[in-house]
Amino acid sequence: MITEAAHRARGAAAALATATRAVKDDALLAMADALERRTATILEANGQDVAAALESGLAESVVDRLTVNGPRVVGMADGLRHVATLPDPVGEVVRGATLRNGLELRQVRVPFGVVGIIYEARPNVTVDAAGLCLKSGNAVLLRGSSTARHSNAALVDVLREAIAAHDLPADAVQQIDPASRDDAKELMRARGLVDVLIPRGGAALIRSVVEDSTVPVIETGVGNCHVYVDAGADLDMALSILLNAKTQRPSVCNAAESLLVHADVADAFLPLALGWLASAGVTVHGDAATRRYSEEVRAATEEDYANEYLSLDIAVAVVGSLDEAVAHIRRYGTGHSEVIVTGSVSAAREFTARVDAAAVLVNASTRFVDGGEFGFGAEIGISTQKLHARGPMGLPELTSTKYVVTGDGHIRG
């Protein structure tokens, strides 16, 4: 089944590779309109998935990511509309030159071809992936979670109908059976038919895809994101950033999971911060220095400091210096997003130079590390690897390049 779907996808990819921007943008706008027009159908399907998730006792964070409502459908549609406004990366000249021998050399962006995406219970990924892949000239094979089977099926049906009505092949977007482990394995082994595979989900899913796939993988990583409050921080600013990063939407990968506080400001900052975190329902796991400020703080373990909670939990430690903060992040961080709150330009420069992550922020919440917030439209995911793409993956990250060399009868002597 995967082989057949992949062959259909390759045919669709060939058509997409030469589609004009106008044709692709019209299809994206039609997809957005169709989502809003078919909202009732989508919500009915999602209701089945949410009811089953609640009945099976899935974690609150999973249910939150799974849930689709009217505003979230509008958000998906608006994401597609924004992608339609973005420049088409296909054909962009990355660099070019006329060589000494007169040859004209151009490196241009081209689609990957067929992109496979394996992801967990996030129906919005279905729409984001379809839109970004179509705009970048790629066909996409979507293997979502069985937890979201009804939601994803409804979304894919809506998107395929809109695509087919605008002179593009419906097989540009296909869903793979979410209940079949054999299909998932076959997708990971479809080297030569699938050009690149992108896992999006928790650590176990990503590790499984990376270890079992023979198809090249772009690794999107988990987010153990830190907020470091430096000795020179504006403490009101630090509190605002911390609360936003932790509580604005705790179930996503760019939520803060760890707080580091310089010892020089711990007495002034931690009593206030711990009080506000408690009032927001956040459970704090802290070291001995942190526990001095509140009896409600639980003793932190090594696992706590390494954990991506995706819930209203946070690990806290007091550090004696910026060096200790950087060392802590190097030990426990996942290379996703790291924040320093400071009024010191030199501390900010040192932190951004020394911390190894896809995004390093100065005096801003981790929640800004997002393709939409960065102006990329929707995103496929946030890559924490160092080859090809790093950070939020927008349109350019869904392309490769090729060299176009133009001569006038040139031969090599």
**Is residue 65 situated within a structural domain?**
yes
Tens digit of each residue's pLDDT (9 = 90 or more) over 224-282: 999 999 999 999 999 999 999 999 999 888 999 999 999 999 999 999 999 999 999 99
Distances in Å between the alpha carbon of 15 and those of 10, 85, 87, 252, 262?
9, 21, 19, 35, 56
Query: Residue 220 — very low, low, confident or very high, per pLDDT cuts 50/70/90?
Result: confident
Q: Residue 312: give its domain's CATH number.
A: 3.40.309.10
**Is residue 374 situated within a structural domain?**
no
129 within 8 A of 28, measured Cβ to Cβ: no
**Is residue 411 situated within a structural domain?**
no
Tens digit of each residue's pLDDT (9 = 90 or more) over 103-160: 999 999 999 999 999 998 889 999 999 999 999 999 999 999 999 999 999 999 999 9
Q: Are residues 178 and 213 in the same domain?
A: yes
Q: Are residues 193 and 242 in the same domain?
A: no
Q: What percent of the chain has pLDDT over 90?
A: 82
Sheet of strand 93-98: strand arrangement? 93-98, 104-111, 399-406
Number of domains in the chain: 2
Distances in Å between the alpha carbon of 294 and those of 34, 299, 326, 386?
52, 11, 25, 40
Q: Are residues 255 and 182 in the same domain?
A: no
Cα separation of 246 and 310, whole Å?
Answer: 9
Cα separation of 382 and 379, whole Å?
Answer: 8
Highest mean pLDDT among 29-43, 167-181, 379-393: 29-43
Closest residue by Cα to residue 266 from 315, 211, 215, 321? 321
Q: Are residues 89 and 141 in the same domain?
A: yes
Q: Are residues 247 and 98 in the same domain?
A: no
Q: Are residues 281 and 206 in the same domain?
A: no
Average pLDDT, the chain: 94
Q: What is the pTM of this model?
A: 0.85
Range of the domain at 323: 225-368
**Is residue 242 situated within a structural domain?**
yes
Q: Residue 124: give its domain's CATH number.
A: 3.40.605.10
**Is residue 386 situated within a structural domain?**
yes
Q: What region, left, alpha or beta, does residue 285 occupy, with left being phi > 0 and alpha being psi -120 to 50 degrees?
A: beta
Contacts of 396 (CB under 8 A, 6+ apart): 89, 92, 109
When pLDDT is averaged across residues 367-381 and rounded to a whole number, the result is 83
Q: Are residues 11 and 39 in the same domain?
A: yes
pLDDT of residue 390 exceeding 90: no
Q: Are residues 216 and 92 in the same domain?
A: yes
Closest residue by Cα to residue 80 from 144, 151, 26, 121? 26
pLDDT of residue 378 exceeding 80: no
Q: Are residues 181 and 241 in the same domain?
A: no
Q: Is 46 exposed, middle or buried (0-12, 13-18, 19+ CB in 10 A)?
A: buried
Q: Are residues 328 and 361 in the same domain?
A: yes
**Is residue 82 situated within a structural domain?**
yes
Q: What is the pLDDT of residue 5?
A: 95
How many CB atoms are located within 10 Å of the residue 332 CB? 18
**Is residue 81 situated within a structural domain?**
yes
Cα separation of 116 and 191, whole Å?
Answer: 11
Q: Are residues 247 and 307 in the same domain?
A: yes
SS (H, E, C) the chain: CHHHHHHHHHHHHHHHHCCCHHHHHHHHHHHHHHHHHCHHHHHHHHHHHHHHHHHCCCCHHHHHHHCCCHHHHHHHHHHHHHHHHCCCCCCCEEEEEECCCCCEEEEEEEECCEEEEEECCCHHHHHHHHHHHHHCCCEEEEECCHHHHHHHHHHHHHHHHHHHCCCCCHHHEEECCCCCHHHHHHHHCCECCECEEEEECCHHHHHHHHHHCCCCECCECCCCEEEEECCCCCHHHHHHHHHHHHHCCCCCCCCEEEEEEEHHHHHHHHHHHHHHHHHCCCEEEECHHHHCCCCCCEECCHHHHHCCCCCCEEEEEEECCHHHHHHHHHHHCCCCEEEEECCCHHHHHHHHHHCCCCEEEECCCHHHCCCCCCCCCCCCCEECCCCCCCEECCCHHHEEEEEEEECCCCCCC
